[in-house]
Amino acid sequence: MSSFAFFRRLSKSFHDRPSHVKLILICTTVTGGGLLAYSDAGSSSAHQVAVTEKKKVVVLGTGWAATSFLKNLNNPKYEVQVVSPRNYFAFTPLLPSVTCGTVEARSIVEPVRNIAKKGVDVLFNEAECVKIDAENRKVYCRSNTNNNLNGKEEFVVDYDYLIIAVGANVNTFNTPGVVENCHFLKEVEDAQKIRRTVIDCFERANLPNISEEEKKRILHFAIVGGGPTGVEFAASLHDFVNEDMIKLYPGIKDLVKITLLEAGNHILSMFDKRITAFAEDKFQRDGIDVKTGSMVVKVTDKEISTKELKNGGEIKTIPYGMAVWSTGIGTRPFIKDFMSQIGQASRRALATDEWLRVEGCNNVYALGDCATINQRKVMEDIAAIFKKADKDNSGTLTVKEFQEVMNDICERYPQVELYLKNNQMRDVADLLKAAKGDVKKESIELNIEELKAALSKVDSQMKFLPATAQVASQQGTYLAKCFNRMENCEKNPEGPLRFRGEGRHRFKPFRYKHLGQFAPLGGEQTAAQLPGDWVSIGHSSQWLWYSVYASKQVSWRTRALVVSDWTRRFVFGRDSSRI
């Protein structure tokens, strides 16, 4: 009764005092935007405010770069559509642990739909990209699931911005027999397949009708590639065999052999020499046969043929039971097709500028293993730099004039700062003085030819970024922050000077910050190379590895699962069931 009385009084106030009713709000939602209108009771016209239509961002992939982008994107003005053949993110550095049961596969994966920030409109489609049409801003996709769509498994996605973060394929270097006979270690499915094959090898060798020679072949595990993945897998397999499998298969424990094949002179060549030497010595003590200078030229179902580079190219054959190929990365087919469209057919990966934009495509970005940054050279812009710095148009540069643009130069061309550091130069004055000779800093003046001489060796410091999860993750975070500030930076650019144009760049260019790298060597020992050339090897580094990898998980769920798996392994050992 009281509710009825309230509405009756409310209705009466509408009729008796219309001047008190100031606003009538009408909200209408439309796809990609909205319309808000209001009218004053005493007004003869309605005012309308239109909400900007959302920009469509299409993300290809759910790896390190794509996931990092989704985690850090918090601008609700974008409509994001993710297209990937897998609906989860996988913590790939722990794949070697999955191969031997130290960590379970589901402990290192997180559904991609759980990753995006709340408030951002994100749609996911489980499909693979088959073609990119940059001219018409379309992506052609194909479902990779058996969904009985009566042939309607292909669809087209339009975009305003395209982010390519599809990673790379395994590079077989066109070696005969690799695809047919070798295991790879790029995906979760690869690690699970390797785990089943290892157990199969032990079960087959344990059969009573198998000869001693055949048992040795079956239990010979060959790993091709002496990089971090190959070394970590060899160490994990050695621990699995010696800590768990020999207890279950005591009759064949002495027949197991692990061989690591590397075409170069050393394993872990990208690490400090101290780590390389320690790893080779430890593997020798553990009984892992490290063959350097051995280039694989052919793989059959039972033998690997190698060319011994240290012995004049002699060809040798090695019988094996299981082979794992871990020797680098290659370009995906649809990326090759896209590169041919935009004039990059001769390159190994998509070339981007320092802002991660694909060269020749203004609204297309490429991150991670499928791309490489084409850092611009100082000597290509030396005339423009000189003109921009020479504000009085005198034809010469003083130290003061050059210092005014030095911060922009170092930000635009990071090789300059690296050159100063490597040559122990404190500032630009030392650089110019080295070119001018024994002259006081205050009186230094350089013409353009002298500036060219001063900066002639700077571009030699340029380096390509490694294809690692660390690089991809930082690129995804950087690009997300750019998208979050896109509108603000259009009005207030925060990047360096445009030496070949006017004004400033919208954003600061991407800069990779190396945080260190690990190489687990088995036996609860890890080699760590951290910034500042600090090297640590041993059990303490293993605990640092545990803490870093646990903290880098994308969710508390996977963090708890991984830590619990490590605890279970310490208490009960690794599981040898073939599931």
User: Once rounded to an integer, what is the mean pLDDT over residues 28-52?
Assistant: 41
Q: What is the arithmetic mean of pLDDT over 234-262? A: 95
What span, in angstroms and rounded, lies between the C-alpha atoms of 407 and 414?
10
User: Own/partner pairs for 524-533, CB < 8 Å, 24+ apart?
Assistant: 525/282, 527/268, 527/271, 527/275, 527/278, 527/279, 529/271, 529/272, 529/275, 533/272
Longest dimension (CA), the chain: 105
pLDDT average, residue stretch 343-348: 92
- C-alpha 475: how far from its chain's center? 7
The answer to which of 126-135, 203-212, 352-361, 422-431 has the lowest mean pLDDT is: 422-431
463 pLDDT band (50/70/90 cuts)?
Answer: confident
pLDDT grade, residue 150 (50/70/90)? low
Q: Which of 205, 296, 273, 274 is nearest to 245 (CA)?
A: 205
Query: Which has the higher per-residue pLDDT, 118 or 491?
Result: 491
Residue 458 has pLDDT above 70, yes or no: yes
Give 43's DSSP letter: -
**268: alpha, beta or left? (left if phi > 0; alpha if psi -120 to 50):** left
Q: What is the mean pLDDT of the chain?
A: 89
* Count, residues in the chain: 579
Q: What one-character-per-residue DSSP string does 393-457 give? A: --SSEEHHHHHHHHHHHHHH-HHHHHHHHHTT--SHHHHHHHHH-S--GGG-EE-HHHHHHHHTT
Q: What is the 3 state secondary structure string of 287-314?
A: CCEEEECEEEEEECCCEEEEEEHHHCCE
Q: pLDDT at position 28, please?
A: 36
Q: What is the pTM of this model?
A: 0.87
Q: State how beta strands 534-538 and 47-50 pair.
A: unpaired
Distant-in-sequence, close-in-space partners of 127: CB < 8 Å, separation ≥ 6? 83, 84, 85, 141, 142, 143, 144, 155
Residue 36 CA: distances (Å) to CA of 40, 167, 305: 14, 43, 72
Beta strands 154-158 and 138-143 are: antiparallel
SS3 516: coil
Distance CA(351)–CA(131), nearest Å, equals 18
| 77-86, 90-99, 161-170, 385-394: the lowest-pLDDT one | 385-394
- Above 50 in pLDDT, residue 231? yes
- Amino acid letter for position 476: G
Q: Is the per-residue pLDDT at 8 higher than 60?
A: no
Determine which of 4-8, 39-43, 178-182 has the lowest per-residue pLDDT on average.
Answer: 39-43
Amino acid 283 reads F
CB 298 within 8 A of CB 306: no
Residue 559 CB burial class (10 angstroms; 0-12, 13-18, ≥19): middle
Q: pLDDT (tens digit, 9 = 90+) per residue, 155-197?
A: 999 999 999 999 999 999 999 999 999 999 999 999 999 999 9
d(CA 370, CA 352): 10
Q: pLDDT tens across 298-318, in order?
A: 999 999 999 999 888 999 999
What pLDDT does residue 25 have? 31
Q: Which of 214, 232, 221 is nearest to 256 (CA)?
A: 221
Would you state the pLDDT for residue 34?
A: 40
pLDDT single digits (tens) 63-77: 999 999 999 999 999
The DSSP annotation for 535-576 comes to EEEEHHHHHHHHHHHHHTSSSHHHHHHHHHHHHHHHHH----
Question: What span, in angstroms and rounded, lies between the C-alpha atoms of 35 and 364?
Answer: 30
| The pLDDT value given to residue 11 | 52
Model pLDDT, residue 276: 97
SS (H, E, C) 445-512: EECHHHHHHHHCCHHHHCCCCCCCHHHHHHHHHHHHHHHHCHHHHHHCCCCCECCCCCCECCCCCCCC
H-type alpha helices, 228-346: 228-240, 246-248, 273-286, 333-341
Given this model, what pLDDT does residue 42 score?
41
Give the model's pLDDT for residue 21.
40
Q: 70 or 445, which is more confident?
A: 70
Q: Is residue 144's pLDDT more than 90?
A: no
Q: What local confidence, expressed as pLDDT, does residue 117 receive?
A: 80
Question: Quick one: CA dihedral 434, 439, 444, 449, positive or negative?
Answer: negative
* Residue-wise DSSP of 46-67: -EEEEPPPPEEEEEE--SHHHH
Other beta carbons within 10 angstroms of residue 64's beta carbon come to: 28
Residue 39: pLDDT band by 50, 70, 90 thresholds?
very low
pLDDT over 60 (residue 88):
yes
DSSP structure class, residue 149: -
CA dihedral of 406, 412, 415, 418, whole degrees rounded to 10: 50
